[in-house]
Amino acid sequence: MSKKPFVTKEQVEEIVKTYPTPFHLYDEKGIRENAKALKEAFAWNPGYKEYFAVKATPNPFLLQILKEYGCGCDCSSYTELLMSDAVGIDGHDIMFSSNDTPEEDFKLADKLGAIINLDDITHIDFLEKTIGHIPETISCRYNPGGIFKISNDIMDNPGDSKYGMTTEQITEAFKTLKAKGAKEFGIHAFLASNTVTNDYYPMLAKVLFEQAVRLQKETGVHIKFINLSGGIGIPYTPDQEPNDIRVIGEGVRKVYEEVLVPAGMGDVAIYTELGRFMMGPYGCLVTKAIHEKNTYKNYIGVDACAVNLMRPAMYGAYHHITVLGKEDAPCDHKYDVTGSLCENNDKFAIDRMLPEVDMGDYLVIHDTGAHGFSMGYNYNGKLKSAELLLKEDGSVQMIRRAETPKDYFATFDCFEVGKKLCK
């Protein structure tokens, strides 16, 4: 089985006349269609809002596209807050969900009017001391502990997660926050990552909805919203069936009507914080084969490396690879596809069956639109690539230039040696 890239060999050959490989390329048409489908899937809930997880793909051009569909931003750091504000997303269109949070981050979140989502009960006093008050609208992150299962499949282990409060802690937190002046409350939870099943969100919703009913009854607070966070995944391998967001939305609606409506909580807004689902399939890393090595194994060396996409090196994650122009050729050659870092795990694929790769061939590494560029780094003095947007009309727009050596040396600019390097 194979995946079809959203870009052709002919298009890449035209792009590289202006922008050399490697580069991350995003599909504007796919992003827009997906954002529209998500909005329609949850249209049954009048207060619904998607807070895009900025950490997945922190690029203001992409945030502006999502803003057109009513999306806000899920931010977890000072700089993500700055980026959100720069594109005109502020106030309650920002959900600030962080952990182990520095004072400066809370201060900026409060200044921008963001909804603050507290990760731990001890953060109540820390927040109050930091910003001088408790916001009238506030959220708490919940962790039910244990193992989260769908049928007999273990999806994840919340009990081992550093995030969120226990059942007892969130109850106490709501009582404390109410006593300190909070008026509108939210509940947030993230129990599993990258689930490729339509059942995850409805099951998570049931856990949170039942908890919300209990909390409202025991503490007397008004729960304004329930944030289902992320966790809806994408099919990285070609044999996986993608999630159907409309089926997911309908599944959440049924649980909403079964649990919240009978409890008199039919006014609760549903929020989501999707990063991977919103952007993952609509980005790819385009790289060129520049070396072939045949020793104990057969290697194809490309001009990208783990600096551009670290998921395979860090997690052993699978990313499908297409050799452009050879989509219909038999995959009868076994290769390790490698980058140039001085690390043996700098491999995009191991023992991958591909068509015969010739030097100069362009390879598309699929599904890098989320947690691709954003996880990059500068090990070995390697520089981050450009980010490009393939627009709906077929034209290409640079939305982040490639780094230069001057960028790499910029933080030495206060020293004499740095001034020489930055020339």
DSSP letter for each residue of 34-93: HHHHHHHHTTTSTT-EEEEEGGGS--HHHHHHHHTTT-EEEE-SHHHHHHHHHTT--GGG
Q: Is 342 a catalytic residue?
A: yes
Give the separation between CA 167 and CA 312, rounded to whole angstroms: 36
Q: How many helices (H) and strands (E) does the chain have?
A: 13, 19
Give the separation between CA 65 and CA 81, rounded to whole angstroms: 17
Prior bond of 330 cis (ω within 30°): no
Q: Which of 73, 75, 305, 342 is catalytic?
A: 342
Structural element, H or E, at residue 335: strand 333-338
Give the separation between CA 134 and CA 182, rounded to whole angstroms: 6
Nearest Cα to 386, choosing from 26, 86, 9? 26
Q: What separation, in Å, do the N-terminal and C-terminal C-alpha atoms of the chain show?
A: 50
Report the 10 Å Cβ neighbour count for 215. 23
CB 89 within 8 A of CB 64: no
Q: Which residues are catalytic?
A: 342
